[in-house]
A = this chain, B = another copy of it.
Amino acid sequence: MSSIKVTVWNEFQHEKNNERVKAIYPEGIHATIASFLNAEEGITAQTAVLDEPEHGLTEAVLQETDVLIWWGHVAHEDVADEIVERVRQRVLEGMGLIVLHSGHASKIFRALMGTNTGSLKWRDDGEKERVWVIESAHPIAAGLGEYFEIPKEEMYGERFEIPAPDELVFISWFEGGEVFRSGCCYKRGLGKVFYFRPGHETFPVYHQAEVQRVIMNGVRWAVKGEGAKATYGRVAPLEPVR
């Protein structure tokens, strides 16, 4: 089996403007994620960022991408609608999509879900998060224990305005008293979508082994397999019509 081609997209703004974030991700969150993915056998990751032409998401790049990872936060509205629609069509054709953390409010996640996925509770006080595995046999949970902890994280709390996930893999407990559906799987068209909650830019979340493991698992899960053929439009009858 040939290598899985991943494109890690990042708006790449905080890392240039905020010293605290720069200290954690000197080359950007995308570089950190691409780096641990490239260390994995059978995965080849490249990156793309907002400031590139077409945000680095040309037709050619997307056609060569098996799984796209999305991180955005302050610049959601700067992503061109045309590019969002291009990405959406590629997902419906079978490209996997992993939406991370504040990407919940991105145009692409909103477009694929149909709801106001920006609606949730939040608090960036750096509290403890404990991510519980709900579906122990799910491939996205492979290699984890029953839970893992993130020592300091931004809290996201329910209600989160998403369609009920096809599969709910993780639920988070927060020190401050909230819960959150932190690992949500969807099928849309021929593509798979995985929303994974952790990853605030001011904490070193993507340097943590369990978080890396989940993203690697998510990549493998999101790749489209062979499937069946589907066609659409006007068709002749297969049986005699009286």
Contact = CB atoms under 8 A, between A and B. Distances in A.
A232 to B, nearest CB: 4
A186 to B, nearest CB: 7
Interface stretch (A41-49, A62-70, A71-79, A126-134): A126-134
A41 B113 CA distance: 36
Nearest to A112: B114
A5 to B, nearest CB: 18
Contacts of A116: 89, 92, 189
A237 B123 contact: yes
A176 interface: yes
Interface string A122-156: 11010110101111111101111110000000010
A177 interface: yes
Contacts of A155: 237
A180 to B, nearest CB: 9
Contact of A236 (B123, B167, B174): B123
A39 interface: no
Copies in the complex: 4
Residue picked from A136, A141, A190, A228, most chain B C-beta under 10 Å: A228
A234 B163 CA distance: 22
Interface in A22-79: none
A53 to B, nearest CB: 26
A161 interface: yes
A20 interface: no
Nearest to A169: B228
A207 interface: no
Given A115-B189, A123-B236, A238-B130, A136 B229 contact: yes
Given A114-B188, A137-B228, A164-B166, 14 more contacts: A88-B114, A125-B237, A130-B238, A135-B187, A136-B228, A136-B229, A142-B225, A142-B227, A146-B231, A159-B230, A164-B168, A173-B178, A176-B241, A179-B179
Nearest first, the 5 A-B pairs at minimum CB distance are A176-B237, A177-B238, A141-B228, A142-B226, A137-B190
